[in-house]
């Protein structure tokens, strides 16, 4: 059976290209929300912390790639974008907790 991530082809391609386990976790969550947006409150609180940490890791990785390891510009840009978009998902989750 396909995972939620495999059902959203664009996200699957990003996961395959980036080869980053934490990013795949975040993309899997995003895919699940796309397929079934009603998330139980107890799940939100757990996922929120995890996703915010992943977004921070993405931002730190992108900055490292911009300033130290400048060998892969495309992945660096993807890390910046993923960090921003995961953070937006986190903001949405925070709003739904209110």
What's the pTM? 0.88
Task: Name the residue among 12, 8, 32 with its Cα closest to residue 24.
Answer: 12
pLDDT digits (tens, 9 = 90+) for 5-25: 777 888 999 999 999 999 999
Q: Give the residue ranges of DSSP H helices in the chain.
A: 4-7, 9-18, 21-35, 41-67, 73-97
Tokens of 32: 């699940």
Residue 80 pLDDT > 60:
yes
Cβ pair 67, 46 in contact under 8 A: no
- List the chain domain ranges: 4-97
What H or E segment, with its residue span, contains residue 70?
none
pLDDT digits (tens, 9 = 90+) for 17-72: 999 999 999 999 999 999 899 999 999 999 999 999 999 999 999 999 999 999 99
């Amino acid at each position: 059976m396909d995972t939620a991530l495999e059902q959203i082809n664009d996200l699957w391609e990003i996961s395959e290209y980036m080869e980053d386990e934490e990013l795949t976790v975040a993309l899997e969550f995003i895919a699940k929300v796309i397929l079934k947006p009603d998330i139980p409150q107890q799940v939100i609180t757990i996922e929120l912390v995890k996703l915010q940490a992943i977004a921070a890791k993405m931002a730190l990785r992108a900055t490292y790639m911009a300033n130290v390891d400048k060998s892969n510009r495309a992945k660096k840009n993807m890390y910046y974008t993923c960090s921003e978009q995961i953070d937006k998902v986190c903001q949405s989750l925070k709003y739904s907790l209110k």
